[in-house]
């Protein structure tokens, strides 16, 4: 780690001003991404602004949904009674991620901004990485890596967005609240991320110094069933090879509304309106689910190492839909 100054912000304005004044400064929340990448030498800010003492913690609910302040930890959100009752897919996405120790540290704001696990990105010894060094190339493509994305990618970058939570939240139409030098704004999470295909080095719409203050998660209709399914190389403590966040409102065997998002396959948390369109007004059966899954992976861009994910993602989605609809195989 290169030397840096440590500053602890006590209110939101102070934090934003500290960053605005210094283009080489970064926020520090739980540190599980930020310090990890600084140890690897991928990030080298001259100043870290510790935001963990800001009054941005806790969860409230009203008619608009659940309001989660950005410093709420993954464990805290998973234990919230509204999440337990009304957002099983959020709880599952949280508890199926990382370990309890990491979830006690990791904040919701930080989770949405976690960086790619791509080992070429994380190794400054690798020269070709368009995410680290725009225009330098992509070593992962040449090496045909396996734990990479197949949607929203190209030969310029195949890095995966590895958050489980963000997949559940894009399915739920969550909204992120931001505060920066030019004031506050709110952005739907589906419009927050950018694809690696277009801009490997710019992952989202945040401008320097903008702070995530919280997230609002709207409720699903009371009759909806929902769930998060994660498929991985080992049973616990591993990132997804493929995952699916799904919600359905079904009446008399016909799907009235559907939400579908995929993880483990996209350069951003991958909402699939294509799959939702196939599902809506269709009978809730295996055939429909398979058709929706085929629609979800259309346009996949694969390498020999990632080709298996086209089939795996479809099976994951079909199984997730089966699980929440009670449709037998």
Which of the listed partners (another protein, ligand FAD, none) does 113 bind, with a CB threshold of 5 to 8 Å by partner kind? Answer: ligand FAD
Residue with smaller CB distance to another protein, 100 or 254: 100
Q: Provide the minimum distance between the beta carbon of 263 and ligand FAD in the complex, in angstroms, as a whole number.
A: 8
Residue with smaller CB distance to another protein, 32 or 272: 32
Q: What H or E segment, with its residue span, contains residue 110? A: helix 108-112
Q: Torsions phi, psi of 202, nearest 5?
A: -110, 105
Residue with smaller CB distance to ligand FAD, 24 or 251: 24
Residues 176-205 touching another protein, rule: CB under 8 A, are 177
The answer to whether the CB of 170 falls within 8 A of the CB of 152 is no
Residue with smaller CB distance to ligand FAD, 211 or 296: 211
Contact with another protein (CB under 8 A) among 10, 21, 41, 55: 55
Locate tokens 């939101």: which residue?
A: 12
Residue 13 touches another protein, criterion: CB under 8 A = no
Cα dihedral sign for 8, 73, 204, 126? positive
Q: Provide the minimum distance between the beta carbon of 251 and ligand FAD in the complex, in angstroms, as a whole number.
A: 33
Q: Provide the minimum distance between the beta carbon of 134 and another protein in the complex, in angstroms, as a whole number.
A: 26
Q: Provide the minimum distance between the beta carbon of 277 and ligand FAD in the complex, in angstroms, as a whole number.
A: 27
Q: Provide the minimum distance between the beta carbon of 187 and ligand FAD in the complex, in angstroms, as a whole number.
A: 13
C-alpha span between 257 and 219 (Å, rounded) = 14
Burial of 16 from C-beta contacts in 10 A (0-12 / 13-18 / 19+):
buried
Q: Torsions phi, psi of 99, nearest 5?
A: -130, 170
Which of the listed partners (ligand FAD, another protein, none) does 222 bind, with a CB threshold of 5 to 8 Å by partner kind? Answer: none
C-alpha span between 304 and 164 (Å, rounded) = 25
Residues 237-266 touching another protein, rule: CB under 8 A, are 237
Residue with smaller CB distance to ligand FAD, 25 or 258: 25
C-alpha span between 178 and 24 (Å, rounded) = 20
The DSSP annotation for 216-284 comes to EEPPPPTT-EEEEEEE-SSSSS---SEEEEEEEEEETTEEEEEEEEEESSBSS-EE-HHHHHHHTTSBS
Residues 163-192 touching ligand FAD, rule: CB under 6 A, are 163-165
The DSSP annotation for 145-185 comes to -SS---BS-BTTB-PPP--SHHHHHHHTT-EEEEEETTEEE
Contact with ligand FAD (CB under 6 A) among 9, 18, 25, 27: 27
**DSSP-based helix, strand, coil % in the chain, nearest 5:** 30, 25, 45
Contact with another protein (CB under 8 A) among 23, 104, 136, 223: 104
Number of neighbouring beta carbons within 10 Å of residue 175 = 21
Binding mask 207-246 for ligand FAD (x = CB under 6 A): ----xx--------------------------x-------
Contact with ligand FAD (CB under 6 A) among 111, 288, 302, 306: 111
| Chain positions contacting ligand FAD, by CB under 6 A | 26-34, 36, 70, 97-98, 102, 105-107, 109-111, 113-114, 162-165, 211-212, 239
């Amino acid at each position: 780690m290169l030397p840096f100054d440590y500053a602890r912000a006590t209110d939101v304005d102070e934090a934003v001003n500290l960053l605005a004044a210094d283009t080489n400064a970064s926020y520090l929340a739980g540190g599980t991404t930020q310090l990890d990448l600084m140890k690897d030498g991928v990030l080298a800010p001259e100043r870290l602004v510790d935001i963990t003492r800001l009054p941005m913690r806790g969860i409230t609910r009203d008619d608009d949904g659940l309001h989660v302040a950005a410093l709420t930890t993954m464990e805290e959100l998973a234990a919230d009674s509204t999440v337990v009752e009304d957002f099983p897919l959020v709880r599952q996405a949280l508890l199926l991620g990382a370990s309890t120790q990491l979830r006690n540290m990791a904040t919701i704001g930080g989770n949405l901004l976690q960086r790619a696990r791509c080992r070429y990105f994380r190794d400054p010894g690798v020269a070709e990485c368009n995410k680290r060094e725009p225009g330098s190339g992509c070593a992962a493509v040449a090496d045909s890596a396996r734990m990479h994305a197949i949607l929203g990618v190209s030969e310029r970058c195949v890095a995966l967005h590895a958050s489980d939570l963000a997949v559940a939240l894009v399915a739920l139409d969550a909204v992120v609240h931001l505060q920066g030098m030019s004031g506050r704004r709110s952005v739907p999470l589906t419009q927050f991320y950018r694809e690696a295909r277009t801009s490997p080095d710019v992952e989202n719409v945040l401008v320097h110094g903008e702070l995530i203050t919280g997230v609002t998660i709207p409720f699903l209709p009371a009759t909806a069933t929902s769930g998060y399914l994660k498929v991985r190389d080992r049973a616990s403590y591993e990132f997804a090879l493929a995952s699916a966040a799904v919600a359905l409102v079904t009446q008399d065997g016909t799907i009235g509304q559907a939400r579908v998002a995929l993880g483990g396959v996209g350069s951003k948390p991958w909402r699939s309106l294509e799959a939702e369109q196939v599902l809506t007004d269709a009978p809730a059966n295996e055939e429909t689910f398979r058709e929706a899954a085929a629609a979800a992976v259309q346009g996949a861009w694969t390498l020999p190492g990632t080709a298996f994910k086209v089939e795996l993602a479809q099976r994951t989605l079909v199984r997730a839909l089966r699980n929440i609809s009670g449709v037998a195989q």
